[in-house]
Every structure is written in C-alpha cells, then in structure tokens.
Amino acid sequence: MNTHQFPTRKIDVEPGIDSLKSMFPWPREKPEAVMDVIGTFPEQGTVWKAIEYFLPTDAKLIVELGTFYGASLRFMALHATQATLVAVDTWLGSPEFFLRKIAPPIDNTRLYEQFCKNMWDMRERIIPVRNTTLNGLSLLLNLEIKPDFVYVDAAHDALSVLADLVAISSLGTGIRIVGDDYDAHGVQDAVQRYKAHCPGIKLEAGNRWFSFVTV
Ligand SMILES: C[S@@+](CC[C@H](N)C(=O)[O-])C[C@H]1O[C@@H](n2cnc3c(N)ncnc32)[C@H](O)[C@@H]1O
C-alpha cells in the first residue's frame, strides 16, 4: 500500500454526523418558555426567497451559521424535509446586537434555551453546535462532514464573514452558499474580497442576499 496516499473522501455518506451529534446533545427536557418568539426578522423575506430558490428540496445536509431563535432554520427544515441541519451559534448574540441595538429585547443569557424550546419538535433533525462559527466549521472539516448547503448569517463584520467563507470553502467544492445582509458594508466587503481571490466563483446577489457555489 502506498502510505503517502490520502484517503478518498466519501461524499455520499456522513459518518461524522453521529460523532457531531454525540458532542452536542439536546437538553433532556424541553426548556421552559422564555419569550415565546420564533420569527424575529420579518423583513428577511427576500433572503428567504433566495433560500427557497437555491436550496434543493432533496438536500441531505444543511449548515446554518448564525441561528438565533431558529426562524430561518425552521424555514429551511420545512423546505428540505429530508435534511439533517447543523446549527452553529454561540447563542450569545452578535456584536451588532449590542452596538446598534437592532434586535428585539434579548436576554442573551437564555438565548440557547429559547432556541431549544422553539425547535424542540424538530430536534431529531437538528444538531445544535454551540460554539463559534470557525470552531464549528473546523469540527466539520475534521469529521469529514461536507454539507450540500450553508446559510451564512452569523457575524456581519468583514473579517468574520471572510473567515466564515474561507472556512466553508475548505470543506469542499460544490457547496451552495447563501448569505444574508448583503446590504451591510462588512458583508459586501467580505464577499468582494473573497471573489477577488477566487475569481472562479459565479456570484449572484440581490439587495439583501448573496450566493455562490464553492469551487
Ligand atoms: C442575525 S442572528 C441569526 C438570525 C437567524 N439566521 C434567523 O434569521 O432567524 C445572528 C446569530 O449569530 C450568532 N453569532 C454571531 N457571531 C457568531 C460567531 N462568530 N460564531 C457563532 N455564532 C455567532 C449570534 O449569537 C446570533 O444568534
């Protein structure tokens, strides 16, 4: 056997999913109601239309960077009904929530509980990776988990978004990315910088969303 040969990557099966599940178990009991909210960003209609357009209904594995209360995660779960969904979030809130006070009242000590309560009925299909996006993506890389689709909606500053895009690309080619808040300066800056270093991608964008497939 050639010891210098790298193992062939399996793309049809995801043996790492079980490992990831065991690392991030759900709470034993459904948490008590905290705020009883689910759809906190109604203005995101156009982004959700982009998800609807680009997310194949037969997707097997979806990763969401930035899940918050679970509204967009639920939307994707209902659209691709066979998919397992990996939700990556610190559940501590984004810097802009605190800086610009854009969000509804947030008790960020209980965000994770609220998410668990909201998504309890779908917990068999969802792996809540309670960590930073880069740590979450690093785990996926190490476990050889390659998603079909990644929704990017965590931090919105240029450095963080660029890092997220590079880390997603490290998971492989052919991954469809849809990202939110293309109207935010940091997001647009990151996407344009990424594209400059990766001219092979075919970028599509609306006012509030962007999308491309990793090459
Ligand atoms: C805009 S909210 C996500 C909204 C959600 N996608 C929806 O539409 O329902 C952003 C989320 O990203 C998380 N977040 C921000 N920066 C992060 C990072 N570097 N790593 C992990 N999570 C992060 C925050 O905790 C917050 O819950």
DSSP H stretches of helix in 45-175: 45-54, 71-79, 95-100, 111-118, 133-142, 158-169
Q: Ligand 1 centroid to 64 CA: how many Å? A: 9
Q: Which residue, by CA, sits nearest to atom 11 of ligand 1? A: 66
Q: Is residue 91 part of a domain?
A: yes
> Does residue 141 belong to any structural domain of this protein?
yes
The closest residue, in CA terms, to atom 6 on ligand 1 is 67
State pLDDT tens for residues 4-47. 454 444 444 468 999 999 999 999 999 987 765 555 555 567 88
The encoded tokens of residue 187 equal: 């997001």
Q: Is 81 within a domain? A: yes
Nearest atom in ligand 1 to the alpha carbon of residue 132 is 20
Residue 110 covered by a domain = yes
Domains of the chain: total: 1
Residue 5 lies in a domain: no
Is residue 58 situated within a structural domain?
A: yes
For the CA of 89, the closest atom of ligand 1 is 22
Mean pLDDT by 10 residues, the chain (215 residues): 44 77 97 66 74 97 95 95 98 80 64 92 98 98 97 96 98 98 96 96 96 98
- Ligand 1 centre to CA of 1 (Å) is 46
Please give the Cα distance from 17 to 19 (Å, whole number): 5
What's the gap in Å between 52 CA and the centre of ligand 1? 20
Residue 181 makes CB contacts below 8 A (sequence gap 6+) with: 47, 153, 156, 187, 208
What digits encode the pLDDT tens for the residues 142-161? 999 999 999 999 999 999 99
The confidence score (pLDDT) of residue 46 equals 80
- Ligand 1 center to 70 CA (angstroms): 10
Residue 77 resides in a domain: yes
List residues near ligand 1 (CB under 6 A): 41, 44, 66-68, 71-72, 88-94, 132-133, 153-155, 160
Residue 137 Cα distances to 112, 141, 169, 178, angstroms:
19, 6, 10, 16
pLDDT value for 43: 52
Residue 4 counted as domain residue: no
pLDDT of residue 130: 98
Closest CA to 67 of 125, 108, 115: 115
pLDDT of residue 2: 41
181: domain CATH number is: 3.40.50.150
How many angstroms is it from 11 CA to the middle of ligand 1?
A: 27
pLDDT of residue 39: 52
- Give the structural domain span for 176: 16-27+47-213
